[in-house]
A and B are shown apart, each in its own frame.
Chain A
Amino acid sequence: MLYSSYEADQALMNTGPKKVILTLFLLFLAFIPLQMVEGIPDLIPGFDFLGNNDWLKLLSTACIFAIGALGLNVLTGLAGQVSLGHAFFMGLGAYTAAWLGAAPGPLAGIGLPMWIWLPAAGVVAAIVGVAVGPTAVRVRGLYLAFVTLGLVFVGEYIFRNWSTLTGGSQSGRTFPDFELRLWKEETPLVDFANDGTWFGVALSGEAKTYYLLVFLLVVFVLLAKNLQRTRAGRAFQSIRDRDIAAEIMGVNEFKYKLTAFGISSFYAGVAGALLASFVGRTIPERWDLFLSVQFIAIVLIGGAGVVTGTLLGSVFVITLPRIVQDFTGWLTEYVTEGNGVFVWLADLLVVTGEGDFGLINVQQGIGSGLSVSILNQVLYGLLIIGFLIFEPLGLYGIWLRIRNYWKGWPFTY
C-alpha cells in the first residue's frame, strides 16, 4: 500500500473499503435488535436469532468484556507487561460505581447519576493502578505476573471483608441501573434498563442496554485506536520491543509503564462497573483469578496488540459457551433421533443415556464425560495453548492470512 502523506498513512480508516465495510457493520449492529420489532423485516435472513433477548445479552456481555480487554491490550499488547490483576481493578471499579451510584440503603450508596459513577469507576481504578504501579514497575517480566496475582488475592480478601460496601460473600450486593439522570430526579432522562419506546419504536430493556454498551464500546475503541498513534502509544511499543533501547532513545520507562498501568486500570474499572450493573447482584468472589485469565485469553486468542483482534477475541470467548451448549444440544437430538453411520460417529461425542460412553455429558450424573460448563473451561485452556503454539497473532492473524490470500489471488504471495 502506498500513501502520499504521513496523515494518510496514520489515518484510522486508511482505505476506502474499510470505511464502507465499517459503516455497514455498524449499521448491522444497530439493526440487530430492530429485527425483533413488529413490522420491520429481517435484514439478513439467518441472523435474526441475534435479536433474541438472550443473544442480545451475550452480545452486551461481549461489549463489556471487549472494553475491559482493550485495557489489558494496552498493557500487555502495547506495553508488553503481563498482568493477572485485571479482575482486581474491575472489582474496584464496580464497587466505586456501587458506592456512588446505588440508592442509599443498608449498604453504602449515595445515589449519584450514571454520568458521574461510570467515569469515577475508571478514575478510582486508575488512581489505584498508578499507586501500586511503582512496585509493579520495579519488578520486571515474570515477577510482575506474580505481583499482580497477589493483588487479585489481596483484593478478593478486602472485598470479602468490607461487607458494608460489598455485602460480603453470602449475599453480595446490587449495583446501580443503566439510567441517565441529570441529578437525583425521580424519573430518569433516559432509561436503558427497562422496556420502553424510543422514537416510536417499542424496544425491550435488553435492546436498550445493548445500544448503550455498543455506543460505549465504539467510544472506547476510538480512544484505544487513537492511543496507538500518540507519543505515549509509540513509547509503549518501544518499551515492549526493547526496554533498555527505548530508555536510551529518551523514553522515560518508569513514566510510561505507570501510564500504561493507569490506562489499563481505567478501562478495567469502567468494564467492572458496567459488568456489575449489567449482571445485577454480584458477590465479591466474582472478581477472582479466573476473570483475569479470561481477559488474558481474550487478548491472546484475538491477537495481542491489535484492537480488531481484541474485539474478535471478546466475541469469540463470550459466545463460545453458548455455541458449545447449542451444538451439544443439537448433537444429542441428532444422535437420539437419527440413524446412519454419522450418528454412530456423533454418538462417540455425547452421552445420551445410562452407561453410554461419550466426551460430552449434557445430563448430570449419568455415565462418563464432561459437563458442558467444564468442557468450556477445558476448551478455553486448550484454545489458549493452541493459539500460542500455532498462531501467535490469534484470530487477527487468521484474518490477515485470509485477507492476504484474496488480495494476492490468483498469486500466493
Chain B
Amino acid sequence: MNPDILILAQETAHPSRFAEMVVEGLSLGTIYALLAVGFVIIFKATQVINFAHGALATMGAFLVASAATIIDVPGRWMPSAPDWLVWALSVLIAVIAMAGIGMLLERVFLRPMVGEELFAVAIVTLGLDIFLRNYTNDWIGPQPRPLGDPFGAEVVDLGWVSIAQTEIAQIVVALVAVGAIALFFQSRMGIAMRATAFDQEAARAQGISVGRVFSISWAIGAVLAAIAGIFISLFPRRAAGVDNTTAFFAFKAFPAIIIGGLDSVVGAIVGGLLVGFSEAAAGTYLTGVSFLGTGFAGIVPYLLMLLVLIVRPYGIFGTEEIRRV
C-alpha cells in the first residue's frame, strides 16, 4: 500500500480529529438550530414560511456592528466602561431593534396576506428576502464589518481539542435561548401562541389577540435569527465580521428545518444539530477525497434533506398533513 495513504488514514483516524469534528459540529449545529427554531416558531404561529430568515440574521449582525463600532452608541455614553459591558449593551440594542423590525415587517408586509395561500405568502417573504438582503448588504459594503466583540480569537485548550471562547459562549447562549423558549411556552402569551398555532379562528373566538401573537412570534424569530447572525460573524466562522455571505450561510438552516419537520420545535433543534454534525463530518473526513471535488461539505445538508424527504416526506418530527376533499 502507498505509505502516503497510510499516513493519511492514520491522521484521519486520530481521536483528535474526531474531537475537532464534534466541536465543529456542535458549533455549526447550534447556529442552525437557533435559526431553525425561530423559523419554526414563526411558521407555527403565523403559517408563514419565512424565506427572509437569512436576511434577518445579517441585519442583526450588522446592527451589532453599527452599534458597537460604526456609531459606537454605548461607548460614547460610557467611555470608561469595560469592553465587555459596552459590547453587551450593543448586542442588547441590536436585539431590541431586531424585535421591533420583526414586528414591523409582519405588520406591514405579512398582515395583509393573512388567509392567503401558504405558497403566495412564502413568495412574499422571498421578495422580502431579496429586498432586505440587498439593502443590508449595500449598507455593509464590500468590506466585512467587525462586530467589535471582546472575545477575539481566544481558545480554550481541552487536551485533544481546543475550543474557541465564542463557541463556548454560543453553546451557552443557545441552551439559554432554548430554555427561555420552553419557559415562554408555559407563560400566558406562550399558551396563547400554542392555541393560535392549533387553530387561529378558535383562538380568536376564545379572546386571544391573534394579531399580537403574530407580532410576538415574529419578534422572537427575528431575535433568534439575529443571535445566530452574530455568532456567524464571530471568530471561528467569519473572523473579520459581518459581510455579504452571512445570508448564504444562514440558507443552510432550511435543510435543518425540513429534516426536522416544518412544524416541530424539537425537530428544528434535532435537524439543526444533524445538519451541523453532518457538515462537520464531511468537512473532516471527506475533504481529501479527490473525486468529490471542492465544496462537498457545503452541500451535504441539502443531500441529507433530499434523503430524509424520500423516506419521510414531512421530515422526522413533522406532522403529516391530513388531506380532505
Contacts and interface: CB of A to CB of B under 8 A. Distances in A.
Interface of A: 82, 135, 138-143, 145-147, 149-150, 153-154, 157, 160-161, 242-245, 248, 293, 296-297, 300, 370-371, 374, 377-378, 380-385, 388-389, 392
Contacts of A385: 109, 124, 127-128, 131
Contact of B323 (A244, A370, A388): A244
A388 B124 contact: yes
Contact of A377 (B134, B262, B324): B134
A150 B255 contact: yes
A143 B305 CA distance: 10
A393 to B, nearest CB: 12
Contacts of B303: 150, 154
Interface string B126-143: 111111101101100000
B119 A141 contact: yes
B258 interface: yes
A153 B299 contact: yes
Contacts of A371: 138
A388 B113 contact: yes
23 contacts: A135-B306, A140-B313, A142-B118, A142-B119, A143-B262, A145-B49, A145-B122, A146-B254, A149-B254, A150-B306, A157-B293, A157-B298, A161-B295, A248-B325, A297-B127, A371-B138, A374-B137, A377-B131, A378-B130, A378-B135, A380-B130, A381-B132, A384-B130
Contacts of A149: 254, 302
B307 to A, nearest CB: 10
Contact of B293 (A150, A161, A389, A392): A161
A382 B129 CA distance: 10
A84 to B, nearest CB: 8
A135 B127 contact: no
Interface string B86-130: 000000000000000000000001001100101110111011111
B258 A143 contact: yes
Main secondary structure on chain A at its contact with chain B?
Answer: helix
A150 B307 CA distance: 11
Contact of A296 (B118, B123, B131, B306): B123
A370 B295 contact: no
A328 to B, nearest CB: 15
Given A142-B262, A384-B130, A385-B128, 12 more contacts: A135-B310, A140-B321, A143-B314, A150-B305, A154-B299, A244-B324, A293-B126, A293-B130, A300-B123, A378-B130, A380-B131, A389-B109
B63 to A, nearest CB: 17
A287 B287 CA distance: 24
Contacts of B198: none
Interface size class of B (residues with CB under 8 A): 35 or more
B309 interface: yes
Nearest to A81: B119
B112 A389 contact: yes
A154 B307 CA distance: 13
Contacts of A374: 134-135, 137-138
Nearest to A139: B313
B120 to A, nearest CB: 6
A383 B303 CA distance: 33
A371 B141 CA distance: 11
Which one of A141, A244, A385 has the highest number of Cβ atoms from chain B below 10 Å of its Cβ? Answer: A385
A389 B299 contact: no
A242 B325 contact: yes
Interface string B2-23: 0000000000000000000000
A258 to B, nearest CB: 16
B302 A154 contact: yes
Contacts of B134: 374, 377-378, 381
A389 B130 contact: no
B84 interface: no
Contact of A147 (B109, B131, B306, B321): B306
Given A374-B134, A380-B130, A146 B295 contact: no
Given A293-B130, A377-B130, A138 B313 contact: yes
Contacts of A380: 127, 130-131
B294 interface: yes
Contacts of B306: 135, 147, 150, 154
Contacts of B315: 143
A254 to B, nearest CB: 14
Interface string B235-262: 0000000000000000100110110001
A139 B309 CA distance: 7
Given A157-B295, A157-B299, A384 B127 contact: yes
Contacts of A157: 293, 295-296, 298-299
A154 B306 CA distance: 10
A384 B309 contact: no
Contacts of A384: 123-124, 126-127, 130
A296 B306 CA distance: 22
A384 B134 CA distance: 15
Given A135-B310, A147-B306, A153-B302, A142 B127 contact: no
Contacts of A388: 113, 116, 120, 123-124, 127
Contacts of A139: 309, 313
Contact of A161 (B113, B294, B313): B294
Contacts of B262: 142-143
Contacts of A243: 323
A297 B251 CA distance: 20
A138 B321 CA distance: 13
Interface in B141-189: none
